[in-house]
Amino acid sequence: MRVVFLQPNYPPEMQQYTRGLAEVGVKVYGVGDSHPDSLAPMVKKALSGYLQVPRIMDEDDVVERTSAWLKGVEIDRVLANWEPLVILAAKIRERWGVPGMSVDTVRGFRDKQLMKERVRAAGLRTPRSCRATTKAEIWAAREEMGYPMIVKPIAGAGSADTYRVESDAELEKVLALTAHVSEVSCEEYIEGEEFTYDTICVGGRPIYENCTQYLPKPLEARSHEWISPVVITLKDMSQPHARKGIELGRNVLRALGMGDGFTHMEWFYTKKGEAVFGEIGCRPGGARIVDQMNYTSDIDLFREWARVVCWHAFDADQTRKYNAGIIFKRAKGQGRIQQIVGLNAWKQRWGNWIVEDELLRPGTPRRDWKQTLLSDGHLMCRHPDWDTAKEMCFDAAQNITLYAG
C-alpha cells in the first residue's frame, strides 16, 4: 500500500503519525513545506519519498505539484491529520480518484456554521449560531442571540481568536481583535461542563472512543494567564454524563458522513443533564491529547490509527486502566525561565504516577501563552481513581510555579 501524508514533520506530533504509518507496513510519501534537511530522523526513516512545496497552504499549487511528482505511481490513500490541511487532502483524493471523504463531506467538519446546520438537521442539540462576514452581520447576530455570545472563526482550530462577549462595549473590542478574520461564527454561549469525544472510525463507525474533561473550559483558560489548564481522560466512560456525550457523538458522526480516521469533538454537559454539541474535526485533537489516550490504556494510537486508515483493523487492547491528566503551566513574568518552585515536592508526593515532565527549564525563553496551549510546558500523570487523578493535577496546577525574568 502507498500513502501520501501531508505535512509529515509539522506540527511535531505529525512525526508520530508518519512513524505509525511506516510501522504498519505501508510506503509513505510525504508532502510538506519543511526543508528535507530539517526532517526529524524518525520522519526520514519512515518516508519512502518526500516532496517539498513552497507553500503547503496554497492548495491548488500543492495539488499540481504533487500530481506531477507522483505521476504514474498508484496511491491508495491521501491523509492529513492537521486541521488546516484536511480539505487539501480531500481535493487530492478527488483529483486522483482515491478512496476517502469528499471535499463536501470534509467541509462539514471544517466550516463551523455548515457543521452545525448539518448536525441540527439531524435533530441534534447545537448552540444557536449564524455566519457573519461584516460588522453589521455580527451586530445583527447580537440582536438575535443576546449576551453572552461567542464569536470565533468559521474555520478555526482550538480556541484561537475565540471570544465570549457579554456587552456592547466588549463586542466593540472583539470586532477590532477579529478584524483579520474574514468569516466568523456567532454562537449562543452554553453554560455547562466541557468534554471531548474522540474516536478512530472505520466508515464512520467508531472502533475506538475516548472522553476527556476540560478543567476549566478552554475559553476560560484561554482568557486568563494565571490559569494552569487541566485536561483529564475518563477511565470510566459508563458514567451517565459520559454516555450522553458518546451517544451524541455517534449521532454527529452519522449526520456528517464520517469516513475513516480520527475525530475530535467538543461538547457540553449542562446542569439540566443535557449533552449539547460544540464542534468537531475529522482529525485528532492537539495539545498532546493523543498521548493522554495512549497513557490511559498503555496503547499506541499513532500506530493503531495508521492500521485503521490503511487496513481497517485495530489490534491493540482498549482496556481503560487510568484517568490520565495533563497540566499546562504558564510562567509568571516575561523573558527567560529563571526558577521552578514546587516541582520536586510534587514529584516526591506522587512518584510513579507521574509519566511526563516537559516543563521549560531555567534559561529557556517563555512561549506566547496566547498562541499555544502548550504554554511553558506541561506535566502528565495518571491514576486509576478519578478523584486521586484530579487531586494530582490540581496539586500541580496550584502548587508548582515557573518564574521568568
* The overall pTM is greater than 0.85: yes
| Whether 119 and 265 share a structural domain | yes
202: phi then psi, degrees, rounded to nearest 5: -120, 115
Task: Give the three-state DSSP class for 233.
Answer: strand
Q: Crossing angle of helices 289-297/301-311, nearest 10°?
A: 100
Domain that holds residue 393: 322-405
CA distance 62 to 175: 33
Residue 342 shares a structural domain with residue 385: yes
Same domain for 200 and 260: yes
Coil/strand/helix, residue 284: coil
246 inside domain:
yes
Q: Taking the CA of residue 352 as centre, how many other CA atoms within 13 Å lie in the half-sphere pointing to its CB?
A: 1
Residue 256, domain member (yes or no):
yes
Q: Does residue 281 fall inside a structural domain?
A: yes
244 and 210, same structural domain?
yes
User: Is there a single domain that holds both residue 245 and residue 119?
Assistant: yes
CATH number reported for the structural domain that contains residue 52 in this entry: 3.40.50.20
- Final residue belonging to a domain, choices 297, 319, 341: 319
Q: Are residues 205 and 59 in the same domain?
A: no
Please check whether residues 36 and 15 belong to one and the same domain.
yes
Decide if 255 is inside a domain. Answer: yes
The sign of the dihedral angle between the CA atoms of 59, 64, 67, 70 is negative
- CA distances from residue 47 to 8, 59, 63, 181, 246 in whole angstroms, order as listed: 9, 22, 19, 36, 36
Question: Is residue 290 domain-shared with residue 344, that is, in the same domain?
Answer: no
For the chain, which ranges sit under pLDDT 70?
156-159
Domain check: are 74 and 145 in the same one?
Answer: no
Distance CA 7, CA 18 (A): 9
Encoded amino acid at 213, one letter: Q
| pLDDT at position 156 | 66
Residue with cell 478519578: 386
Note the pLDDT of residue 224.
Answer: 86
User: Using CA atoms, how far apart are residues 252 and 270, in angstroms rounded to an integer?
Assistant: 18
* Listed residues 269, 294, 319: the one ending a domain: 319
- Do 77 and 15 lie in one domain? The reply is yes
Is the domain of 351 the same as that of 369? Answer: yes
76 phi, psi to nearest 5 deg: -95, -30
Residue 229 lies in a domain: no
Q: How many domains, the chain?
A: 4
Are residue 312 and residue 332 in the same domain, yes or no? no
CATH code, 297: 3.30.470.20
* Adjacent-strand bridge partners of 356: 380
